[in-house]
């Protein structure tokens, strides 16, 4: 028999330390450079990776649980649309970007006991950055890929 530890989940991310940064010393070395190639100081980043941040979009997974139980296609589509929009709820107070995952880095989150889903996310490309997520819930499966490009 395998013993499973019951760790308490944290309910928030610790406050960011308040370090003084000389913004001019960063900007003066970046004049004329491509913005995507400018190194950003680590304390400008959120203390999580993009893989974790994408998993946070499942905060309102109960909406998908409800959609899976509905027989009317239009009503089901409305619930799926509501879930899609709910992903913006975690961004209202965020001003920092998450860390970029390494190529091949994975993040697994098992919330089967309390929310009824488990997910795995992986950074599948570095240039351009792309990640893929697979989630299995109660009567639904979510596949998601996220890519980002910048043009100047």
pLDDT of the residue at 5: 63
Number of independent structural domains in the chain: 1
- Per DSSP, the three-state class of 67 is helix
Q: Whole-model pTM?
A: 0.74
**pLDDT tens digits for 85-111?**
998 887 878 888 888 899 999 999 999
In-domain check, residue 33: no
pLDDT of the residue at 36: 64
In-domain check, residue 107: yes
In-domain check, residue 29: no
Domain region containing 71: 46-90+98-147
Q: From CA 53, how far away is CA 49, in angstroms rounded?
A: 6
**pLDDT level of residue 30 (50, 70, 90 thresholds):** confident
Q: From CA 128, how far away is CA 150, in angstroms rounded?
A: 9
Contacts of residue 36, Cβ cutoff 8 Å, sequence gap at least 6: 150, 152
In-domain check, residue 40: no
In-domain check, residue 142: yes
Q: Looking at 58-62, 120-124, 145-149, which range is the least confident one?
A: 145-149
- Per DSSP, the three-state class of 98 is strand
């Amino acid at each position: 028999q395998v013993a499973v530890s019951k760790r308490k989940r944290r309910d928030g991310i610790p406050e960011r330390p308040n370090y003084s940064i000389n913004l001019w010393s960063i900007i003066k070395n970046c004049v004329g450079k491509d913005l995507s190639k400018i190194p950003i100081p680590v304390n400008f980043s959120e203390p999580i990776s993009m893989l974790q941040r994408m998993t946070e979009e499942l905060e309102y997974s109960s909406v998908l649980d409800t959609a899976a139980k509905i027989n009317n296609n239009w009503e089901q589509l409305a619930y799926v649309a509501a879930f899609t929009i709910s992903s913006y709820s975690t961004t209202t107070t965020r001003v920092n970007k998450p860390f970029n995952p390494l190529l091949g880095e994975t993040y697994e989150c098992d919330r089967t006991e309390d929310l009824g889903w488990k997910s795995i996310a992986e950074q599948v490309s570095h240039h351009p950055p792309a990640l893929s997520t697979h989630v299995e819930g109660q009567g639904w499966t979510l596949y998601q890929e996220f890519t980002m490009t910048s043009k100047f």
